Structure 1
Amino acid sequence: MGTVLNYLEKYGKYTFAEMPMTEVDSLALCQLSYLKFDGMVSEEGEPVILKSLREHPDYEKLFADVRYEKVNRALLEEMIQSRRFGHMKLNYYVNVIEEKWETQFSAVTCFPDEEIVYVVFRGTDETIVGWKEDFNMAFLSPVPGQEYSVRYLESVTGKFEGPFYVGGHSKGGNLAVYSAMNAAPHIQDRIIRIYSMDGPGFRPEVLEKCGYDKIAEKVVKILPNSSLVGMIFESDMHFQVVKSNTFGLLQHDPYTWQVTGNHLVRANDLYERRKEMDNNLNQWILSLDEQQLRTFVDTLYHVITASKADNLIDFTAEWRRSMNGIIGALKQVDEETVKMLKEMVRSLFEIARANRKRQIAAKTEGAWNLLTQKQKPEKQNKSKPSPL
């Protein structure tokens, strides 16, 4: 089985007139949005052709996020060399990081050919403030990034006519869905499809308030079969499960998703153990009130930022210094907060234990019913034999 890189190598020779947009194209564009286009693609100016980026003096800055540096280089090179994406235009790039408002938001609009427009939202980048915003989604609605996404979608789609796609990976998938369900009706009518690639869902009251049903049929949510991020608040959304080349949380990396031909390889369902863990986590979050959630996330953020690292790359690279800062920060947490945190964590384990007991009881009852059914004597046929 291949990956999105193998797909581009094999199918990049086809234009969109020769082979229509596929879900793997969407995955490639979602990942492309992680590149740092600052100073290369403008917010309001002329569009930039993808091929031209190779000659830009700031080309190396595209790969500042070292988490995906090697594979992102390969992705961009394959796209540049292809007939399919080489002449794609990029425009309306924004990148906002506001530590005060705990916001990290980035989006870019892609024009693969004259007939196709794809509005793509970047997922969580390597900044710690971006990571914090993901957690804020658990209790705040809307978070600033979600509000930005609605304004961005309405502003950008007013600059061109016709239908378009919208999508994103991770938090970008959440923003794609959020912006679409809060956009004006005439914009919603123009949307062809909304891709959420392992993006977190929404609290039930948010889906109801924002009228998710208006766009539900256009949403394509794709999860790897050990998804954690994409199963946060996953409830009524229908999702498709794909296979990955790796295990656990590493499956969140779209470069591990298996591709055959021009589509992703489907799995039957999420792993049973993963579904159980996701269900426990969602029940736990919904069981806490807003103050408890704020305390939990704010304390966690305070502890992480005490490491003095500006981003998760520095945090992990200098882990000894990071841990010293964390240990110091933990000592400063007041007793009341520590007590609240202990109670919240205890409630998570209680929910998990209760769910496990119910599962065992259901399995036991099912096995007992099956056993007693097999032991029932077959009814004798007392009808008179046929004279024939």
Structure 2
Amino acid sequence: MVHSHASRREDILAAYSVDGPGLNEAIPDYCIDRVHKLIPEASVIGLLLEPESSYQVVQSDSFGFNQHDPHSWATRGHEFVLATSTTSLSKYTQASITRWLESIDDATRGEFLNSIFDLFEATDDDRLSELAKNWPVNFRIMMKAISDSNPETRQRWKDVTDKLFGAMTDEAKLRVTSRWQQSIASMPKLNVPQPSKLLIEKLKQTENKKSQKYF
């Protein structure tokens, strides 16, 4: 709808994104009311390149990447059962990947993402749930595909993944610091009574007597 020809836009009643990645740009006002996005609680893919926050979060009875499968989403009657927000892990992953994608240029980003899809194809699994289910075997297949690639490709993989881990580390530090500051700010202030003027005067007199004793 966003990139459709102007003469056909009014023919489109609605467009739905089911945990799909974003467009890396804001949705224009002329169609924002007709674009609907649904993501699961632990969404990762659906939050990639997603500058918008106008999506609905659906409860799922699966975990991790398996939530990408809409068949795991909870329903009640003819409607999805909505959650209040995504999980903290999903938010952390989204922020980390966003930070990472911003650290590499478009050409490197495209090449790396294409390489990931090539690795997925090497496993012969068409769905993320199948990929996760056979992860030990698929991981070895993917590692072999990387090791069999030419030195330049392996170096690019290393450079990009180093930046990814760096982004995840930076985001983790940021979140830990933020939570620590929030915890400190939320701590109740101790109501320590102030010493009276009479007590202060007596303490001064005591200190003066001690000083005179030594001189």
TM-score range, shorter chain: 0.7 to 0.9
Gapped runs of 5+ residues in structure 2? 194-215
Q: Does 1:231 align with 2:41?
A: no
> In structure 2, what is the Cα distance between the partners aligned to 1:303 and 1:261?
39
Match of 2:9 among 180, 188, 201: 188
Alignment equivalent of 1:203, drawn from 24, 37, 51: 24
Alignment of 1:339 with 2:160, yes or no, is no
- Contact 2:147–2:154 (Cα < 8 Å) also in 1: no
Secondary structure, counterpart of 1:213 in structure 2: coil
Tell me the matched-pair count.
Answer: 190
Partners of 1:276 and 1:229 in 2: how far apart? 13
Q: Percent identity?
A: 23
Question: Are 1:195 and 1:221, in contact at CA under 8 Å, matched by a contact in 2?
Answer: yes
Q: Does 1:274 align with 2:94?
A: no
Report how far residue 344 of structure 1 moved: 1.2
Q: Deviations over 1:141-183 (max 9, x none)?
A: xxxxxxxxxxxxxxxxxxxxxxxxxxxxxxxxxxxxxxx1122
Q: How does 1:359-370 map to 2 (within 5 A)?
A: 359-370=175-186
More strand by share: 1
Task: After TM superposition, give the deviation of residue 328 of structure 1 in Å.
Answer: 5.7
Alignment partner, residue 258 of structure 1: 74
Q: Which has the higher helix share?
A: 2
Asked if the contact 1:226–1:247 (Cα under 8 Å) also holds between the matched residues in 2, the reply is yes
Is the Cα–Cα contact under 8 Å of residues 202 and 233 in structure 1 kept in the other structure? Answer: yes
Report the counterpart of residue 99 of structure 2 in structure 1: 283
Q: Is the 8 A contact 1:302 1:329 kept in 2?
A: no
Under a length normalisation based on structure 1, what TM-score does the superposition of the two structures give? 0.43
Task: Tell me if the contact between 2:146 and 2:154 (Cα under 8 Å) persists in the aligned partners.
Answer: no
The CA deviation at 1:199 is 1.6
Contact 2:47 2:94 in 1 (8 A): yes
* Contact 1:241 1:266 survives alignment (8 Å): yes
Q: For structure 1, list consecutive stretches of 5 or more residues without a partner in the other structure.
A: 1-179, 379-388
The residue identity in structure 1 corresponding to 2:164 is L
- Which among 352, 362, 367 is matched to residue 168 of structure 2? 352
Cα distance between partner residues in 1 of 2:62 and 2:122: 32
Alpha-carbon offset, residue 277 of structure 1: 0.8
Please state how far the C-alpha of 1:230 moved relative to its aligned partner: 1.1
Relative to the length of structure 2, the TM-score reads 0.72
Asked whether the 8 Å contact 1:257–1:264 carries over to 2, the reply is yes
**2:140, 2:64 → 1: CA distance?**
28
Tell me which amino acid in the other structure corresponds to 2:64.
G
After superposition, the CA RMSD in angstroms is: 3.3
Q: Secondary structure at the match of 2:189?
A: helix
CA gap of 1:250–1:327, structure 2 versus 1, over 3 A, is: closer
Code of the residue aligned with 1:197 in structure 2: it is V
The within-5 A match list for 1:17-36 is none
Q: Cα–Cα, structure 1 residues 245 and 218, in superposed 2: closer, same or farther, change >3 Å?
A: same
CA distance in 2, matches of 1:320, 1:360: 31
Change (3 A) 1:263 1:367: same
Shift of residue 268, structure 1, vs aligned partner: 0.8
After superposition, the Cα gap between the structure-2 partners of 1:258 and 1:376, relative to the gap in structure 1 and judged at 3 Å, is: same
